[in-house]
Structure 1
Amino acid sequence: MQLMMVLDGTVASLALARIQDDLGLSDAGRNWVITSYALTYGGLMLLGGRLGDALGRKRVFIGGVALFTIASLVCGLAFNEATLVAARALQGVGAAIASPTALALVATTFAPGPVRNQAIAIFAAMTGIGSVTGLIVGGALTQLSWRWIFLINVPIGLVILIFAIAALAETSTERLKLDVPGAILATLGCTAVVFGFTEGPEMGWDSPLVLAGLIGGLALLGAFLAVERRAENPLLPFSLFRNRDRVATFIAIALVGMVMFSLAPFVALFVQDILGYSPLRAGLAFVPFAFGLGAAAFVASKLAVRVPPRWLVGVGTLITFVGLLYGSTLDGSATYVGNLFMLVVGVGFGVGLAVVPLPLCAIAGVGPHEIGPLAAIAQVAQVLFGPVGLAIVGAMATSRTLSEGGVSGPAADMTASQLDALSQGYTFALLGCAIFAALATVTALFVRFTPAQVAQAQAAEKAAQQV
C-alpha cells in the first residue's frame, strides 16, 4: 500500500502534459489533477487515524484501500476534467483513511524486536523505492497511455485487499468522539483558498467566484480554529503549539512542503512541453533528484545529533533557493547535461538536508504520548500546504504566460510564440518555489532546538515504534 501511494503521487506529475493534451484541460484544471488528491488526503489524514482507533484498524485499512482502488479505476476511465478531478479527490479520501493505519498495523502484526524492526525498515524503504521506480515505471506507462498510471493500481489494490483480509488481525477499538466538523472545515477552507488562487488568473481576480473562494476559505479556516478550541477530542490540540521553536518548525515544514509539491509538476511540464522530452525520458531525468535527496538525507541523519538543526535546514533550503533561482532563468535552449543535471541533483540534495531534521524538531522535547500527534500534524502540514503552494505558483505561471501573449491549454496546439510565453510561465513558477525556499531559510533561523534535543527525539521516535 505504501508503495502504491508513493507511486501515485510521483507519476501524476509526469502524466500532466499528456492528460492536458488528451482531455483538453485548462491550466487551472491541470493543477486540480494534483491538488484535489492532496487536499482530501492532507485534510482528512488526522481524522483517518482516529477512525482506525475508533472502528478497528483492519476494518478501516481495508475500507480505505477499497475506496482508493475504486477511485483509481474511475481515474483511469475518466472522460473529462470533472470526472478526473472528482475521482482524484476520492483517491485522496481513500489514502487518508488507509495510510495512517498502515504503520500502526505493522506494529500490531509483528512482535517487538528484530522482526518488527525489519518490517518497519521495509515499510520505510517503500518510500525511497517508490520515488525512484515511480519515475521510471510511471514514465513508461504514460508513454503507452496516461490512463495506465491509475489503472495499474486496480490489480495492486485487489491483491492488497485479499492479503489484508486473510493475514491481518483486527485491533481493539476505543470510544472516541471524532472531530468530524474540524476535518471538514479544514479541508473545505484549504480547498476554497486553493480554488481562488487557481482560478484567479483565468477568471479574473475581481471575479465574484474567486473573491468568494479566497474570503470564504479564510472564514472557514477561522471557523476551524474556533471549533478546535471547543472540541472534546480536537484534531489540532493548541497545547502542542506553546513552544515557539516548534511553531517555527511547523512553518518551515509547511514551506518546504510547498516547494516540493510545486516543483515537480512544473519541471515535468517544462521538460515535456518546452524541451520535447517523452514521459519516460522525463522520468529518467528526475532520477538524480531522488539520489541527491537520499545522499543528503544520509548525511543529515548523521549530522542532526551534532549540528544545530537550524543550520542543516538553513543550508539545505539555501541550496534549494539558489538552484531554483538558477532554474528560473532557463529557456527552450536548455540542455540536460549543461543545465538540468546539476540543478536536479543540487535541489534534491538541498531538500534532503532539510527534510530529515524538521520532523525530529517537531517532536523534540515532548513526552512519549505527544510524539504521535505531533508527528501526524507535521505530516499534515507538509501535505496540506503543498496544494496551497501549487495554487500560488500556478497562478504566477498562468499570469506570466497570459501577460506574454500566451494562452491556456494544451501545448500541442500552440504556436512558437505561445510556447515561448508558456516557457516563461513555467520558469516563473520556479521563481515562486525559490521564494518559498528563501522564506524557509529565514524561518529555520528561529528553530532553536539543540543537537541533544534532536538526538533525544530520534531515540524517542525509535522507542515509540517498538512499543
Structure 2
Amino acid sequence: MNAARPSNPPAATTPVSYPVTTRAFGLAIVVLGALQLMVVLDGTVANLALARLQDDLGLSSAGGKWVITSYALAYGGLMLLGGRIGDAFGRKRMFITGVAVFTLSSMLCGLALNEPMLLVARTLQGVGAAIASPTALALVATTFAPGKVRNQAIAIFAAMTGIGSVAGLIIGGALTEVSWRWIFLINVPIGVLIVSLAFKALAESEDARRLSLDVPGAILATLGCTSLVYGLMEGTELGWADGTVIGALVLGIMLLAVFLRVEVRAEHPLLPFDLFTDRDRVATFVSIFFAGAVTMCMAVFVALFVQDILGYAPLRAGLSFVPFAFGLGVAAQVASKLALRVQARWLIAAGSVLMVAGFLFGSTLDGSAGYWADLFGPIVVIGFGVGLAVVPLPLCAITGVGSDEIGPLAAIATVAQTLGGPIGLAVIGAMASSRTLSLGGTTGGNASSMNPAQLAALGHGYTFALVGCAVAAAISGLVALFIRFTPQQIADAQAAQEAANAGL
C-alpha cells in the first residue's frame, strides 16, 4: 500500500492592490466625479435651452424634443453594453474613450448648423456617456480600497448625480442667456482636462477579460426604442395615417420582438430573463419606468411653459426649479427612514398621489399664472412626491438577491428609468402637440412671433402635458401596490447594497 502523499499547501491568494488606500479625496475621485457631474448635467442642461434652440435653428416641436430624447435613448439603450465593454477591454481605456467621444460630440453640438447635425451629435454624446459612466462607477470599486476610503469615494460620486440634476438647470439657464451653444461647448475644456488627468490618476483594471458582448441585443433595443419614439413624435406632425409613421411604429415593435428572441439565446444577455421571475421585481421595474417618464416630461414641459408662456428668461426658469430639488431632498431623507418601518409600496403610492395632485393643479394654469401664487406650491409638492418614491424603488429592485446580482439589477433599474424618459416624452409630447393643434395653434416656430390665440393654444398644450404626467405618476403608484416587499426585506437590501458598495 503506497504511503499517502502529503497534501500540497493551498496556493497563496494574490493580494489585491488598490491605488488609493488612505483618503478618497484626490486626483482620481476628481476625475471620476467630474465625469459623472458632466454626464448628469447634459441630461438636464438642454431643457432650458429648448426655446432658444427652436428659435435659432427653426426646430419643429418634435425636433426640439429629439434634442432631449436622442441623448437619453443612446445613453439608456447602450448603458449595459458600455459596462460590459469596460470589463472586456479595460476600464481605464474605455473610460478615456467614452470621455473623448463625449467631448468631441459636445463640440459638434455647440457648432451645429442645423437640426440633423445637432441630433446626430447629441446621439454621439449619449454613446460616449453610455461607455464612460458605468465604467467610471466600476473604476471607483477598483481604485479605492474597501472600507472607509471607498465609502467616501462612492458618497462623492453619488453626490455628483444630485448636484448635477439641480446645477444643470441653473447652469443651463445661465449659459443659455449668453448662447445655447455654450451649454455644449463648456464640456470641451472640461472633457479635455478629464482625459489628460485620467492617464495619470487612474490605473488599468487587471481583470479585463474577453467576453462575448451582446452587441446585437444593444443595437436592436436601441433601434427599436428609437423607431417607436420617432413614430410617436412624428405622428402629430405628419398625421397618424402617414406611411412613415405607421412604418416606424411597426418596425419598432418588430425590432423589439427580435431583441427579446436574441436575449433568450445570448451567452451574456443584456437582459437576463431569470432576473424577472419575481412578480414584485417586475412591478418594481415597471414603476421605475413610469417614474422616469414623469421626471423627464415634467422638466421639459414646465421649462417650456415658464419661458414661452410666462416669459421667463432661461436663468430665472432654472432658478424656479430649485424648490423642486429642496422638496425631493427632504422627502428622500424622510423616505430612507420610513422605508425601514413602512412597506415600500405605500411610500411609493403616497408619493404618486402627491405628484398627481401637483400635476392636475398645474394643468389648470395659463399665461396669467404667478410664480409664488401658482407655481411654487406645486413644484415643492411634486418634488416631495418624487422624493418619496425614488428611495424605495431602487431598493426594491435589489431586494432578496445575492451580492453578485446587485450590480446587474441596479443597472437594469437605471436603464428602465433612463428609457422611460424619452418614451414617455414621445407619448406625452404627442398629447401636447395634438391639444395645441386642435385649438388652432402651431407646434413649430418662435413663440414670441405667435399671436395671442396661438400662444394660448401652445400654453394649453403644455399644461395638458401635465395631465399626461399625472397619468404616468398614477400608473407608477398603482403598479407599486403589487410590490409586497416588507420593511425588513428593504432593510436587508439596504445593508446588502452598502456592503456591495464597500466591497465587503
TM-score with structure 2 setting the length: 0.92
**Aligned runs of 1:314-329 on 2, under 5 Å?**
314-329=349-364
**Aligned runs of 1:250-289 on 2, under 5 Å?**
250-289=285-324
- Counterpart of 1:102 (choices 136, 144, 167) is 136
- Counterpart of 1:82 (choices 116, 124, 140) is 116
Deviation per CA, 1:180-199, whole angstroms, max 9, x where unpaired?
00000000000000001000
- Counterpart of 2:474 (choices 420, 438, 443) is 438
Deviation at 1:261, TM superposition (A): 1.2
Kindly indicate whether residue 478 of structure 2 is the aligned counterpart of residue 426 of structure 1: no
For 1:13, the equivalent position in structure 2 comes to: 47
Q: Which amino acid aligns with 1:74?
A: L
2:491 & 2:213 partners in 1: Cα distance?
34
1:134 & 1:375 partners in 2: Cα distance?
24
SS for the counterpart of 2:65 is helix
Q: Which amino acid aligns with 2:280?
A: D
2:170 & 2:397 partners in 1: Cα distance?
33
1:190–1:217 Cα contact (<8 Å) kept: yes
Deviation at 1:347, TM superposition (A): 0.4
SS for the counterpart of 2:46 is helix
For 2:186, the equivalent position in structure 1 comes to: 152
- Counterpart of 2:448 (choices 407, 412, 437) is 412
- Counterpart of 1:308 (choices 339, 343, 352) is 343
Kindly indicate whether residue 238 of structure 2 is the aligned counterpart of residue 213 of structure 1: no
Deviation per CA, 1:132-170, whole angstroms, max 9, x where unpaired?
222222211110101000000001101110111111000
2:283–2:479 Cα contact (<8 Å) kept: yes
SS for the counterpart of 2:409 is helix
- Counterpart of 2:279 (choices 218, 221, 244) is 244
Deviation at 1:412, TM superposition (A): 2.2
**Aligned runs of 1:123-138 on 2, under 5 Å?**
123-138=157-172
Deviation at 1:116, TM superposition (A): 1.3
2:283–2:482 Cα contact (<8 Å) kept: yes
For 1:402, the equivalent position in structure 2 comes to: 437
2:263 & 2:180 partners in 1: Cα distance?
41
Deviation per CA, 1:206-227, whole angstroms, max 9, x where unpaired?
0011001111101111110000
1:11 & 1:233 partners in 2: Cα distance?
35
For 2:329, the equivalent position in structure 1 comes to: 294
For 2:491, the equivalent position in structure 1 comes to: 455
**Aligned-residue CA RMSD (Å):** 0.7
SS for the counterpart of 1:19 is helix
Deviation per CA, 1:76-120, whole angstroms, max 9, x where unpaired?
001111111110000000000000011111111111121111111
2:36–2:160 Cα contact (<8 Å) kept: yes
- Counterpart of 1:374 (choices 409, 414, 423) is 409
SS for the counterpart of 1:146 is coil
Q: Which has the larger radius of gyration?
A: 2
SS for the counterpart of 2:323 is helix
Q: Which amino acid aligns with 1:466?
A: A
2:431 & 2:335 partners in 1: Cα distance?
33
1:263 & 1:98 partners in 2: Cα distance?
27
Q: Which amino acid aligns with 1:284?
A: L
State percent identity of aligned pairs: 69
2:489 & 2:44 partners in 1: Cα distance?
33
Higher helix share: 1
Deviation per CA, 1:304-343, whole angstroms, max 9, x where unpaired?
1111000000000110011001111111111000000011
Kindly indicate whether residue 339 of structure 2 is the aligned counterpart of residue 337 of structure 1: no
For 1:174, the equivalent position in structure 2 comes to: 209
Deviation at 1:447, TM superposition (A): 0.5
Deviation per CA, 1:241-294, whole angstroms, max 9, x where unpaired?
000000000000001001011110100000000000000000000011111111
SS for the counterpart of 1:337 is helix
2:227 & 2:247 partners in 1: Cα distance?
8
Tell me which moved more, 4-13 or 30-39.
4-13
SS for the counterpart of 2:135 is helix
1:117 & 1:110 partners in 2: Cα distance?
9
Deviation beyond 3 Å, 4+ runs, structure 1: none
1:21–1:412 Cα contact (<8 Å) kept: no
2:420 & 2:346 partners in 1: Cα distance?
23
2:198 & 2:333 partners in 1: Cα distance?
33
For 1:114, the equivalent position in structure 2 comes to: 148
Kindly indicate whether residue 57 of structure 2 is the aligned counterpart of residue 23 of structure 1: yes
2:378 & 2:420 partners in 1: Cα distance?
24
SS for the counterpart of 1:344 is helix
2:291–2:420 Cα contact (<8 Å) kept: no
1:6 & 1:237 partners in 2: Cα distance?
27
Q: Which runs of 5+ in 2 are unaligned?
A: 1-34
For 2:10, the equivalent position in structure 1 comes to: none
Deviation at 1:179, TM superposition (A): 0.3
2:47–2:169 Cα contact (<8 Å) kept: no
Q: Which amino acid aligns with 1:425?
A: G
2:258 & 2:449 partners in 1: Cα distance?
44
TM-score with structure 1 setting the length: 0.99
Q: Which amino acid aligns with 1:255?
A: F
Deviation per CA, 1:418-455, whole angstroms, max 9, x where unpaired?
00000000001111111001111111110101111111
1:385 & 1:288 partners in 2: Cα distance?
24
For 2:37, the equivalent position in structure 1 comes to: 3
